[in-house]
């Protein structure tokens, strides 16, 4: 398969480069800066990413380009461009007139293959303290900004370019044109990587890899595990058994509804009602991290127990996606993901792992899911934490509190759907607070629970802003919850963003 390799020197934008290239229907992979997959088939071009380092730092990341340069078309971005200049006898330094943020690019040579169609004076995004002050003779300058002379260059006699700016960032007006020139024209990508082609090649690979082996997969009702299951089902049919555990912390009627849609899709699913097991283990547990551990362990125990009833299982399938893979490869080690729900499962079960989505981003998983014919109600679902309502019931979890929260959450989410607001927020949910407040219903004084409503807008959950839901909508949902959910007499709306708050309350 045709692919572009991105060597990652630790820039915050490396994932974005990958996204932009995949938007050109071209497959690409991010590799650590010193792990080029020599000998791999299908490589049509290479990109060197930016980096938090200066090329002059003693700890600056180095890579051996001798087997890459001249062999594949090469594009250095920011640090990548500076690295090429620095290691060829050029001079890179932190100049007084360094640029951060927006600058305007002026082309000197519009016949250059990388610059074709880029508008003169278009805005580009700069984000590094250093600039290339002097270039070796073989470097031909093709673009400058007001303060940076060598904003873009080509190495004569080679298919090698360097750009000081970040074409992958939206602020770079014609950045997409630059990347498309490189990927489509210079590297010669056919642009054939689409959801349909991904499905076809993955199904083929899964058949070869798994043969007649039996596979077990944990379904959660979420997008990733559902798409993974449907893909595997297409490849190996009844040799795939899925297990869906009701931990008693799912949303209103979720177990029944999701099981019905899975059956409708032809999946071989075992539904396990383990509510009592979880409620019992959660008795008296109030600390959020302790709750996560109890719920995670409960899941592993139940899943393991059910999977052992099946015969001859050789593989455990998981819906791991690309951001999880990249995070675990992160070279600077700065990204920390704390939400691993079932880490430890593969080790405990002693099975081989199969992860058909491990190279896809979330929105690509959704596109593949649509192509597979999975309904929008499953594909477009908001993210939901693995520990479920367990981290939305503050303090101790009891079956009665679960009932109250499930009902309140149901009226809230249904209200969002009915008012065309569901797809306008990234995630929404209700939270049950561990306090009661005084109210009055009819002539009676009440003393009941408070429900908090949360809705946020975000792209990846790492940062989030609270959603400005219409007051009329909030008013009617509040009325509905207080009138219909026994045990609640007050509803509040959370207007905190992340950071400094988090999306979940626990
Ligand atoms: P926070 O609360 O950290 O949430 O701002 C960010 C995103 O992660 C989800 N989340 C979890 N997901 N297990 C999960 O699978 C967890 O323990 C967990 N905690 C939070 C949260 O719903 C949001 O989408």
- State pLDDT tens for residues 208-256: 999 999 999 999 989 999 999 999 999 999 999 999 999 999 999 999 9
Closest residue by CA, ligand 1 atom 17: 339
The partner residues of 100 in beta bridges, in order of sequence, read 127
Q: Which of 118, 131, 136, 233 is nearest to 176 (CA)?
A: 118
Whether 168 is catalytic: yes
The partner residues of 7 in beta bridges, in order of sequence, read 31, 48
Q: What is each CA distance from 138 to 74, 78, 134, 206, in whole angstroms? A: 15, 19, 12, 47
Tokens of 161: 């370019």
The partner residues of 69 in beta bridges, in order of sequence, read 72
Q: Is 504 in the pocket of ligand 1 (CB under 6 A)?
A: yes
In tens, the pLDDT along 36-79 reads: 999 999 999 999 999 999 999 999 999 999 999 999 999 999 99
Which residue from 461, 497, 500 has its CB within 8 A of the most atoms of ligand 1, so it is best to mutate? 461
* Residue 357 contacts residue 349 (beta carbons within 8 Å): no
In tens, the pLDDT along 341-354 reads: 555 676 777 889 99
Q: Is 293 in the pocket of ligand 1 (CB under 6 A)?
A: no
Q: How far apart are alpha carbons 248 and 278 in whole angstroms? A: 7
Q: How far apart are alpha carbons 438 and 167 in whole angstroms? A: 57
Residue 502 CB contacts under 8 Å (≥ 6 apart), including other chains? none
In tens, the pLDDT along 416-468 reads: 999 999 999 999 999 999 999 999 988 899 999 999 999 999 987 878 999 99
* Dist. CA 461 → ligand 1 center (Å): 8
Which residue among 78, 306, 364, 410 is the active-site one? 78
Q: Is 383 in the pocket of ligand 1 (CB under 6 A)?
A: yes
Q: Is 222 in the pocket of ligand 1 (CB under 6 A)?
A: no
* Dist. CA 339 → ligand 1 center (Å): 6
DSSP at 246: E
Which residue among 86, 99, 128, 166 is the active-site one? 166
Write the burial class of residue 491 (CB in 10 Å: 0-12 exposed, 13-18 middle, 19+ buried).
Answer: buried
For the question of whether the overall pTM of this predicted structure is more than 0.85, the answer is: no
Q: What local confidence, expressed as pLDDT, does residue 330 receive?
A: 55
* Dist. CA 69 → ligand 1 center (Å): 43
Three-state secondary structure string covering 203-234: HHHHHHHHCCCEEEEEECCCHHHHHHHHHHHH
The partner residues of 447 in beta bridges, in order of sequence, read 438
Tokens of 423: 């797809």
**Which of 230-244, 339-353, 393-407, 476-490 is predicted least confidently?**
339-353
Whether 23 is catalytic: no
Q: What local confidence, expressed as pLDDT, does residue 86 receive?
A: 96
DSSP at 375: -
Q: How far apart are alpha carbons 333 and 231 in whole angstroms? A: 32
Q: What local confidence, expressed as pLDDT, does residue 337 receive?
A: 33
Q: What does the mean pLDDT of the chain come to?
A: 92
| Domain architecture of the chain: domains with CATH | 3-186 (3.40.50.880), 195-379 (3.40.50.620), 398-493 (3.30.300.10)
The partner residues of 226 in beta bridges, in order of sequence, read none
Residue 223 CB contacts under 8 Å (≥ 6 apart), including other chains? 362, 365, 366, 369, 378, 379, 381
* Dist. CA 384 → ligand 1 center (Å): 7
Nearest-5° angle of CA 477, CA 479, CA 485? Answer: 90
In tens, the pLDDT along 267-325 reads: 999 999 999 999 999 999 999 999 999 999 999 999 999 999 999 999 999 998 887 77
* Residue 342 contacts residue 300 (beta carbons within 8 Å): yes
CB-side neighbour CA atoms (13 Å) of 81: 28
Q: Is 76 in the pocket of ligand 1 (CB under 6 A)?
A: no
* Residue 452 contacts residue 433 (beta carbons within 8 Å): yes
* Residue 7 contacts residue 48 (beta carbons within 8 Å): yes
* Dist. CA 341 → ligand 1 center (Å): 10
Q: Which of 489, 422, 395, 495 is nearest to 453 (CA)?
A: 495
3-state class (DSSP) for residue 263? helix
* Dist. CA 347 → ligand 1 center (Å): 23
Q: Is 173 in the pocket of ligand 1 (CB under 6 A)?
A: no
Whether 128 is catalytic: no
In tens, the pLDDT along 322-339 reads: 877 766 555 554 433 345
Q: Is 497 in the pocket of ligand 1 (CB under 6 A)?
A: no
Tokens of 53: 């380092």
Q: Is 166 in the pocket of ligand 1 (CB under 6 A)?
A: no
Q: What local confidence, expressed as pLDDT, does residue 336 receive?
A: 32
């Amino acid at each position: 398969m045709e692919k572009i390799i991105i060597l990652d020197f630790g820039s915050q934008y490396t994932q974005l480069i990958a996204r932009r290239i995949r938007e050109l229907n071209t497959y690409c992979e991010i590799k650590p800066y010193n792990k080029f997959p020599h000998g791999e088939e299908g490589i049509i071009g290479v990109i060197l990413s930016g980096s938090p380092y200066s090329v002059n730092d003693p700890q600056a990341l180095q890579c051996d380009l001798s087997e890459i340069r001249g062999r594949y078309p090469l594009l250095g971005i920011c640090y990548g461009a500076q690295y090429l200049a620095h290691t060829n006898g050029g001079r890179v330094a932190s100049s007084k007139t360094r640029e951060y943020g927006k600058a305007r690019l002026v082309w000197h040579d519009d016949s250059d293959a990388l610059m074709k169609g880029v508008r003169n004076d278009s805005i580009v995004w700069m984000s590094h303290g250093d600039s290339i002050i002097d270039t070796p003779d073989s470097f031909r300058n093709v673009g400058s900004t007001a303060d940076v002379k060598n904003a873009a260059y080509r190495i004569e006699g080679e298919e090698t370019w360097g750009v000081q700016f970040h074409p992958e960032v939206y602020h770079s007006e014609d950045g997409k044109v630059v990347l498309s020139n490189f990927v489509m024209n210079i590297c010669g990508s056919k642009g054939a990587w689409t959801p349909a082609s991904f499905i076809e090649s993955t199904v083929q690979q899964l058949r070869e890899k798994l043969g007649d082996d039996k596979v077990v997969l944990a379904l959660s009702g979420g997008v990733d595990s559902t798409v993974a299951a449907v893909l595997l089902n297409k490849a190996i049919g009844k040799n795939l058994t899925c297990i869906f555990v009701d931990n008693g912390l799912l949303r209103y009627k979720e177990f029944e509804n999701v099981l019905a849609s899975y059956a409708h899709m032809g999946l071989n699913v075992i539904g396990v009602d383990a509510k009592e097991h979880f409620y019992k283990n959660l008795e008296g547990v109030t600390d959020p991290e302790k709750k996560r551990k109890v719920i995670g362990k409960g899941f592993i125990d139940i899943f393991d127990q059910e999977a052992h009833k099946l015969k001859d299982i050789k593989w455990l399938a998981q819906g791991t996606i690309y951001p999880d893979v990249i995070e675990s490869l992160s070279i600077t080690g700065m990204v920390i993901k704390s939400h691993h729900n079932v880490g430890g499962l593969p080790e405990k079960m002693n099975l081989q792992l199969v992860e058909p989505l491990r190279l896809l981003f979330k929105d690509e998983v959704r596109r593949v899911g649509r192509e597979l014919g999975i309904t929008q109600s499953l594909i477009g679902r908001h993210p939901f934490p693995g520990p479920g309502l367990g981290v939305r019931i503050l303090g101790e979890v009891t079956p009665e509190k679960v009932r109250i929260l499930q009902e309140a959450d149901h009226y809230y989410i249904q209200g969002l759907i009915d008012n065309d607001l569901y797809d306008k927020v990234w995630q929404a949910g209700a939270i049950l607070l561990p306090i009661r407040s005084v109210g009055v219903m009819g002539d009676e004084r009440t003393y009941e629970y408070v429900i908090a409503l949360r809705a946020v807008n975000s792209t990846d959950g790492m940062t989030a802003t609270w959603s400005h839901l219409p007051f009329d909508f909030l008013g009617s949902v509040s009325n509905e919850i207080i009138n219909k959910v026994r045990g609640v007499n007050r509803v509040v709306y959370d207007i905190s963003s992340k950071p400094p708050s988090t999306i979940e309350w626990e």
